[in-house]
Amino acid sequence: MAYNEDLEKFNELIESFSKLPTIGKKTAIRLAYHICTGNRFESIKLAHNIENALHFIKPCQQCGALSENELCGICVDKERNKDTLCIVQTPKDILTIEESKSYQGFYFVLNELDGDKLIKLEQMILKLNCKEIIFALPHSLNSDAIIFFIEDKFKDLNLQFSKIAQGIPSGVSLENVDMISLNKAINYRTKLEN
């Protein structure tokens, strides 16, 4: 029997690590050894933090950002600009845009567009009474179709539609764009013809 073959739990741990983004097989093995031979308290704390995150962190009922409450910190923030609503693909994109400090409005996380999402989006537009929808989606044919669909769906609400533009190369996700490019992309967004 080869070394490690009888370590069923250990191999399962390696497998779990290797399913995480950016973690290859070698790193997964290194992490598994670290967990099993390193500081035991830190490893238990890690397991506990993962469990807690899964238990307490849920999508914000209004915008879909990650939150520990029914509504996220941005949705309850009275200082934010109600005129603009920025549509992003994932909750992580909100963090990226917030770090660029180039936007003060609200967000809506699209993930997959379905009937339920459309209802939530409409509710949010009406509640904010916003004037502009900014699409901050990764450039792709699918995004173009979604933008077209949403514009058409809400064409009677008297909204300006814009798309973040310069500096975001096709197929690159927001988190990989540098802050200066992202800042420009938001400030010099392109207005879409209604």
Under the rule (CB under 5 A), what is the footprint of Zn ion?
60, 62-63, 65, 72, 75
Rounded Cα–Cα distance for residues 112 and 142 (Å): 11
Q: Which is nearer to Zn ion, 57 or 180 (CB)?
A: 57
Q: Name the residue among 127, 132, 137, 130 with its Cα closest to residue 97.
A: 137
CB 45 → Zn ion: shortest distance, Å?
A: 29
Q: Could you tell me the two tokens for 190?
A: 């392109």
Joined together, the tokens standing for residue 89 give 């693909």
Nearest distance in Å: CB 119, Zn ion: 16
- 60/72 Cα distance (integer angstroms): 5
Nearer to Zn ion, 30 or 120 (CB): 120
Integer Cα distance of 161 and 85 in angstroms: 10
Residue closer to Zn ion by CB (options 14, 93) is 93
Between 63 and 174, whose beta carbon lies closer to Zn ion? Answer: 63
Helices 8-18 and 25-37 pack at an angle, to 10 degrees, of 130
Q: Minimum CB separation from Zn ion for residue 124, in Å?
A: 9
- How far the first Cα of the chain sits from its last, in Å, is 68
Least distance between Zn ion and beta carbon 73 (Å): 8
Nearest to 82 by CA among 174, 194, 159, 193: 159
Least distance from C-beta 50 to Zn ion, angstroms?
Answer: 23
* Residue with smaller CB distance to Zn ion, 63 or 86: 63
